[in-house]
């Protein structure tokens, strides 16, 4: 694939990685700081990356997933390495339906490339939630309240949450709160793609 055809995310909010026209912190993060400390995405979530992620996620094309993960690894390679990579969980029913957790696959490839250990089962989703698409940020936060648990016991580590797409950041926010409550000193979010115009409806 020609790299010039890819929507590389060049300028973004330092905190949540939403695309910006100039470097800095977006207004949403200035009003309501997320629980994570930084976010990095390799691409904007638009053609052809959106199609590639869909092919990986819903058609089980693991070769495409590996290619995307390596692009993310390249993007974050110059940053301070975290002590641990983790991935958002799927419910048991969603995992059975899909056959794999795409975020775990990405984290495994990124961890191998950067020589950072990853936990394939850092979190469990303890209750089903409503589908997130179509919900605004506040609705997503409410939807995810007390939806996750973790057995991780941390002592000041830097943890990176790895995912395929970062939309409003609600899932990353909920998981980051949990990680910090369990001893993480810093939480980063690394995603393949960031939605250009995430819904922020109340």
- Helix axes 49-59 and 62-76, enclosed angle (nearest 10): 130
Q: What are the structural domains of the chain?
A: 3-194 (3.40.50)
pLDDT digits (tens, 9 = 90+) for 112-140: 999 999 998 899 876 655 455 554 556 55
Reported pTM? 0.88
Backbone angles phi, psi at 116, to 5 degrees: -120, 135
SS (H, E, C) the chain: CCHHHCCECCCEECCCCCECCCCECCHHHHHCCCCCCEEEEEEECCCCHHHHHHHHHHHCCHHHHHHHHHHHHHHHCCCCCCCEEECCCCCHHHHHHHCCCHHHHHHHHHHHHHCCCECCCCEEECCCCCCCCCCCHHHHHHHCCCCEEECCCCCCCEEEEEEEEECCCHHHHHHHHHHHHCCCCEEEEEEEEECCCCCCCC
Residue 149 pLDDT: 84
Tens digit of each residue's pLDDT (9 = 90 or more) over 23-69? 999 999 999 999 999 999 999 999 999 999 999 999 999 999 999 99
Per-residue pLDDT tens over the stretch 151-175: 899 999 999 999 999 998 989 999 9
What local confidence, expressed as pLDDT, does residue 182 receive? Answer: 95
Model confidence at 15, pLDDT cuts 50, 70, 90, reads very high
The average pLDDT across 100-117 equals 97
């Amino acid at each position: 694939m020609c790299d010039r055809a890819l929507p590389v995310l060049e300028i973004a909010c330092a905190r949540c990685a939403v695309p910006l026209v100039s470097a800095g912190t977006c207004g949403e993060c200035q009003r309501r700081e997320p629980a994570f400390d930084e976010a990095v995405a390799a691409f904007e979530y638009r053609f052809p990356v959106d199609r590639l992620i869909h092919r990986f996620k819903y058609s089980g094309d693991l070769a495409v997933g590996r290619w995307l993960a390596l692009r993310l690894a390249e993007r974050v390679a110059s940053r301070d390495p975290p002590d641990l990579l983790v991935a958002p969980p799927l419910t048991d029913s969603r995992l059975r339906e899909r056959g794999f957790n795409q975020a775990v696959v990405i984290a495994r490839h990124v961890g191998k490339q950067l020589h950072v250990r990853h936990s394939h089962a850092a979190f469990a989703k303890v209750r089903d939630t409503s589908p997130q698409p179509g919900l605004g940020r506040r609705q997503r936060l409410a939807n995810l309240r007390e939806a996750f648990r973790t057995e991780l016991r941390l002592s000041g580590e830097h943890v990176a949450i790895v995912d395929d797409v970062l939309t409003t950041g609600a899932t990353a926010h909920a998981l980051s709160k949990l990680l910090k409550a369990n001893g993480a000193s810093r939480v980063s979010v690394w995603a393949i793609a960031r939605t250009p115009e995430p819904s922020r409806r109340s």
